[in-house]
Structure 1
Amino acid sequence: MAKKYEKNPGQEAYRQFKKALAQGTLGSLYIFHGEEAYLRDYYLDQMKAKLIPAGMESFNYHLLPGKTLTAQQLAETVDALPMMSQRTLVVVSDYDLFKAPEAERNAMTQILSDLPEYCCLVFVYDTVPYKRDARMKKLSGVIRDKGAEVAFVRQGQSDLVDWIVRRFRALGHDIDTADAQYLIFLCGDLMNGLISEIGKIGAYAQNRRVTRQDIDAVAIPVIDAVVFQMTDALTRKEMDRAFSVLHDLLRLQQAPIMILAVLGKHFRQLYTARVALESGEGSRWLMELWGMRSAYPADKLMEGARRHGLDWCRQAMRRCAETDLAMKSVSGADAKELLVSLVLELAAGGTAC
């Protein structure tokens, strides 16, 4: 089974873009989109360094905010000749080409169809989502024929682990694969979030090798990881630990409906882990099914599934769904009470394998 995160049509454009950057053959039009902002910003910096001589940025590098952009302003900017440089770089941030007024969209289409060779124009979609509208045939055709739509997506596990290892090495530390996977589980799989955590851990760690204790001491976990720890404690019958985590989440004013959503996801994953065990599958199958970037949660789920039968896993999943339905008709203290009651019920039940 192919990994879900590899089924992205923008990845071929991403590979071609990296090849062109390395070979110094960058094109004239790019659309940058996707949730991996760190990677996108890194390559924008690389493009700037490749195209613009040092000290000439103010003449040849142009950053245009999409909120106030007009076709006239863009035309004037792309037509401006480079100064003491072979090319110019124009970056437009958060301008939705397909939602522009018709007159502006037609003017933009004409500009994009006839870009000067010396100009490299990049539309960056950060807070605005990007989706090419095939109904607008002229604009879509120009982007397809003249440009490249480069998707910066969440990286696969092996690439992300390699990157984490390199970042720690740059800080004078080493980290093994298992602990790198744990860091991904704990802090999420976006580089933009991981980079600050790596910096904190690198500054805190006293020894060359970063340990899990170093990670736990300073890293800020995402809510999915915290709830996962709570539900893992439930499957282990560690009720004090489970309720301690739940208390901390509520004390930090995490919405009960949000906690329940993650709780429900965990028990759906636990159910599929139990199905995997009964079908002779392993944690790799579970990772591919759920699109996980880290082996740590998959291994923990398989471990938890061994402690409970299929009927209990199915019932836990059903009770989460029923509580979700009930919670959507209440609010405040009632929602909190429903959540606490569910956790109590799950802690009290269970059929060991």
Structure 2
Amino acid sequence: MRHERIPLILLTGFLGSGKTTLLNQLVQLPEFSRTLVIINEFGETSLDHLLVSKSSDDQIVELSSGCICCTIRGDLAKTLSDATWRFARNGVRQFDRVVIETTGLAEPTPILQIISNTPKLYDSYRMQGTVTVVDAVNGAGTLATHPEAQKQVAVADLLLLSKSDLATQAQETETREAMLLLNPTAPVQLVLQGQTQVDEILALDHAEPVQSTAPLHSWLPTEQLRFAPVSGKQGLLRADQSSAAPADLNRHNDRIRAYCYVLEHPVTAAQIDQWLDALMPELGPQLLRLKAILNVVGFPGPLVVHAVQHLLHPAGLLKEWPDEDRRCKLVFITDNLSAERLEQSLQLLQ
């Protein structure tokens, strides 16, 4: 029997979004006791802590709640690889969860790839999800001008909207619309004065749906989207977000886009193989994230597909469908990739 892997959460957000304030709250909660927090040397503010040791390479602190914080200057993969013995006492690991806080200017996809594409790390850690904090006051402007912030929102499994108590209604609405355009399937939760409900953070289980305890509709929530037929593409529907998104959101940068599709008919295993063999080498670098639930002819349950850029997670078959909706659903988060090119590739599934 395979050992239980350590859950890992990636916490990201642009400069000044309030993610360190949030992290200070989380590590004081009983639910986050025995958590290893990994941050890098460019954190905007410090966590409240008691210093227990320091070296030239990194700084290790023990928090009053029982958490451990490691401020790294070097290789994240090595830090994670060494953590299970380095942060142990008498041979017993001192943490049960990992939270990685990125810098405000970091793109999260390389971190996701490191964890998934390094065999030793994949065997030790289970990626629970990406949490992105967005400032309600400045969020719309930030997302219009900074590609890093766009990518942070685009790959999120959960979006936390901070400073809504300081924002006007117009600012909050514009920020919500901006997030919706970049990531229409991630739930949005409020952070008020650095405080938020932690249940949804703890419930994250989005990287590997086959082994997930989260319901399938939570892994790929498309119920709130409106789909319309794509002209000239039989049986293919695309989500229509035009009425919800501000016209000038990406006036400075229109590279990052989300596209959601529904195929109304089942597909064959051969079609899926052919589609992925063509899609990943050609368009993989432009796919920040792909999630798909596919109805495959002859399979009792849905086939789930998840990819981060060119890295394709092993596809998995669920034993049964959770409801009567058996349509194929696909969500693409893209970087400088047009709907026309995506829909051309989807012809292999029609």
Normalised TM-score (structure 2): 0.29
Larger Rg: 1
When you count helix as a share of all residues, which structure comes out higher?
A: 1
When you count strand as a share of all residues, which structure comes out higher?
A: 2
Normalised TM-score (structure 1): 0.29
